[in-house]
Chains A and B, each alone.
Chain A
Amino acid sequence: MQHTGELNLSDFPRTCGEWLQGRGADSDVVISSRIRLARNIRGFNFPIKMTEKQKAEVVELVAEAIRGRALRLDLNSSSSIDRALLVERHLISKELANGDGARSVIFGRGEMVSIMVNEEDHLRIQCIKSGFDLDRIWARLSRIDRLLERQLPIAFDDKVGYLTACPTNVGTGMRVSVMLHLPCLTMKEHIRKVQRACDSMNLALRGLYGEGTQALGDFYQISNQATLGKSEEQTVAAIKQVMPVVIKYERGMREALLKEDKAFLEDRVERALATLRAARQINVEEMMQHMSMVRLGLRCGLIPPAGLGIHELNELFLLCQPAHLQKHERRSLTPEERNVLRADIIRNRLSQASMN
């Protein structure tokens, strides 16, 4: 099968997508914003009830519809490290990576837009961007959705809207999610209040890796629960209504801590930085905990940003994920080997940064 564009995954361990650039509005608290749409093609069963031939046909139809506009990768024929690499870059879901049969991902060079084919639904179209910028994301995604509609008949019902494999997505098929860094609200145990605010607005608050996960490294996701009964604009508006409150809450907590207990904050930040500088082996969880504190220190001006900015920190964070490390080394590594290599890379980068 041909690739729509040239794709060299070997370049990936040296770069990171736009969503980790640390740019955009409110980027002191908001890491990234994302919207995804679930769509199915009329005339085909949903993936769970499809034959292998039909799956291949859908992959082909979608590729045809997007011809020449983006990079395409068939996951059926790619290695498990490459698939994990795409998961770490948020280009595909774990479910698509671990699935079977004909399935593909199509994405733009900036890695802002990606389309998963034959995940739970025939199409999962997503747009992800750094900072808090849902309007621009929705404008872009909406255009792509309209473009696809001109090429593919979409399964739709006047009563329940866009038809999806899981009834939790039916209606708009739209999931809006914002990834937040809330270290001070976590420290002061105020997350429960955020949880309650989200509950009352029928929004979900989750850890970094979705449902049922712990909030690793003080990262959280807020997303809409309902997809039926509210328009796309209303769904975006609901998130836009609650987000400034959460952002202000975290900022207020940071300011208060800086004013009232600067020594405590400085201690946490400096210890984290010292650990990252000294560690000889480190796993992802510990790295994320310390990076969370370093990020906070940079944002609060507790650490001089000498050569180390949020962008560099994000890049380091991505490049130290398991699949990225293995792609970088061009071989598979045991978890122990990865922990050593991860610590080496972090130490190197941080010592370079402090010399600049």
Chain B
Amino acid sequence: MPLEYEGSGIKETMRCQCCEQHKATVQIRDVENWAVKDVILICDACSKLIATQFIMPHIPMPVTREALEKAKEAMGKSGVAGVAPVGDEAEAAPDITCKNCGMSFKEFQKAGRLGCAECYKAFNETLEPILERIHGSQPAQHTGRKPGAPKADSRASVRQRVQTLKRQMDAAVKEENYERAAKLRDEINGLETGMKE
């Protein structure tokens, strides 16, 4: 369900359909088969509440009346309805970059894809509410199967062992512990020869 997100074309007198208090500033169009199925008008505060939906423009998330009702219900419970509009800060993306692959959160927003497994940790705080919303699961907790460990002699396992040893060897060279570095080099050579066979 492709979503269109627009901020214009709203009359002064229109009220937010979510909190029914503030002036509507955001228009959400629910589009199906290229035809507008539903138009929902909400205010800044409420758009912040369901902001996780706007963070990921590439991932279609249902912003239907049903979703709106749910947001309303949640607001009623937590009493957020009275919160004043917050302006532009709701839109700002967090300035975080994954140290492992170098992907920034902005880049992720644009691509809709993460760069590596570590991104899940790096973006955890922002990602968690998104995951809860996409999967309708609270908390976001995996309950399915888990992978077993690969065999110690599998090519992938040996490859990983080599990488670890290489890191240790570099560290040994830095510490000028050449005896240890030589031992590690021999071990690496042994493993690499085995891999080629």
Partner of B148, one of A41, A146, A161, A227: A146
Does A159 make an interface contact (CB < 8 A)?
A: yes
Q: Does A49 contact B (CB under 8 A)?
A: yes
- Least Cβ distance of A35 to chain B in Å? 13
Q: Do residues A61 and B156 form an inter-chain contact, with CB atoms below 8 A?
A: yes
A339 to B141: give the CA distance in the assembly, Å. 51
Q: Which residues of B contact A234 (CB under 8 A)?
A: 143
* With A153-B160, A159-B141, A202-B136 as contacts: A228 and B101 at CB distance below 8 Å: no
Tell me the interface secondary structure of chain A in the complex.
loop
Whether B28 is near chain A, meaning CB under 8 Å from some CB there, is no
A231-B59 contact, Cβ under 8 Å, with A46-B116, A120-B113: no
In the assembled complex, the CB of A118 is this many whole angstroms from the nearest CB of chain B, namely: 13
Beyond A43-B163, A160-B120, whether A228 also contacts B113 by CB under 8 A is: no
Interface string of A285-296 (1 = CB under 8 A from B): 000000000000
Chain A nearest CB from B134 CB (Å) reads 6
Q: Least Cβ distance of A37 to chain B in Å?
A: 10
Q: Among the listed A42, A120, A228, which residue makes an inter-chain contact with B142, where contact means beta carbons less than 8 Å apart? A: A228
Within B72-121, which residues are at the interface with A (CB < 8 Å)?
100-103, 111-117, 120
- Asked if B159 lies at the interface with its beta carbon under 8 angstroms from chain A, I say yes
Distance between Cα atoms of A159 and B163 in the complex (Å): 27
Say yes or no for B18: interface residue by CB 8 A criterion: no
B66, B112, B144, B159: the one contacting A166 at CB < 8 Å is: B112
Residue from A149, A170, A229 with most neighbouring chain B CB atoms (10 Å): A229
Query: Do the beta carbons of A171 and B144 come within 8 Å of each other?
Result: yes
Chain A CB within 8 A of B157 CB: yes
From A40, A153, A160, A199, give the contact of B150 (CB < 8 A): A153
Which residues of chain B have C-beta atoms less than 8 A from A172's C-beta? Answer: 142, 144-145
A225: chain B residues at CB < 8 Å are 134-136
The 4 closest A-B pairs by CB, nearest first: A229-B137, A161-B142, A49-B115, A228-B135
Q: Are the C-beta atoms of A229 and B135 separated by less than 8 Å?
A: yes
Which B residues lie within 8 Å of A168 (CB)?
Answer: 59, 134
Does A333 touch B at the CB level, under 8 Å? no
Check if B59 sits within 8 Å of A167, measured CB to CB.
yes
Q: Is the CB of A159 within 8 A of B150?
A: no
Residues of A230-258 contacting chain B, CB below 8 A:
230-232, 234
Chain A residues within an 8 Å CB radius of B144: 161, 171-172, 174, 230-232
Residues 195-241 (chain A) with a chain B CB within 8 angstroms: 199, 202, 211-212, 214, 225-232, 234
A41 to chain B, nearest CB (A): 7
Q: Are A154 and B147 in contact (CB under 8 A)?
A: yes
B134/A152 in contact, CB under 8 A: no
For A156, A160, A231, which residue has the most chain B Cβ atoms within 10 angstroms? A160
Interface residues of B (CB under 8 A from A): 1-2, 33, 56, 59-60, 62, 64, 66, 100-103, 111-117, 120, 127, 130-131, 134-137, 140-151, 154-157, 159-160, 163
Q: A48-B111, A230-B137, A231-B144 are in contact. Are A163 and B157 (CB under 8 A)?
A: no
Chain B residues near A229 (CB, 8 Å)? 135-137, 140-143
Contact status A230-B143, CB under 8 Å:
yes
The listed residue (A41, A45, A150) touching B115 by CB distance below 8 A is A45
When chains A and B are docked, how far (Å) is the Cα of A120 from the Cα of B111? 11
Decide yes or no whether A158 CB sits under 8 A from chain B: yes
Per the bound structure, the CA–CA distance linking A161 and B59 in Å amounts to 19
Bound-state CA distance A56–B116 (Å) is: 17
- A308 near B: Cβ within 8 Å? no
| Most central of B2, B100, B101, B145 by chain A CB within 10 Å | B145
Contact A149–B148 (Cβ < 8 Å): yes
Contact across chains for A49 and B101 when beta carbons are under 8 A apart: yes
Q: Sample 13 A-B pairs with CB under 8 A, ordered by A number.
A: A40-B117, A42-B117, A49-B116, A61-B155, A61-B156, A151-B154, A160-B142, A167-B114, A167-B131, A211-B1, A228-B131, A229-B135, A230-B143
Q: Which residues of A contact B159 (CB under 8 A)?
A: 43, 61
Contact A153 B156 (CB under 8 A): yes
Contacts of B150 in A (CB 8 A): 149-153
From B117, B137, B146, B151, name the one whose CB has the most chain A CB atoms within 10 angstroms. B117
A337: chain B residues within 8 A (beta carbon): none
Given contacts A153-B156, A163-B117, 17 further A-B contacts (CB under 8 A): A44-B116, A45-B115, A65-B155, A65-B156, A153-B160, A157-B142, A160-B120, A160-B141, A167-B56, A167-B59, A167-B127, A167-B130, A171-B135, A227-B135, A228-B135, A229-B141, A231-B143
Residues in chain A near residue B127, CB distance under 8 A: 167
Give Cα A92 to B169, complex, Å.
42
Residue from B60, B127, B134, B147 whose CB has the most chain A CB atoms within 10 Å = B147
A165 near B114: Cβ-Cβ < 8 Å: yes
* A48 nearest CB neighbor, chain B only: B113
Q: Provide the bound-state CA to CA distance between A213 and B53, in Å.
A: 22
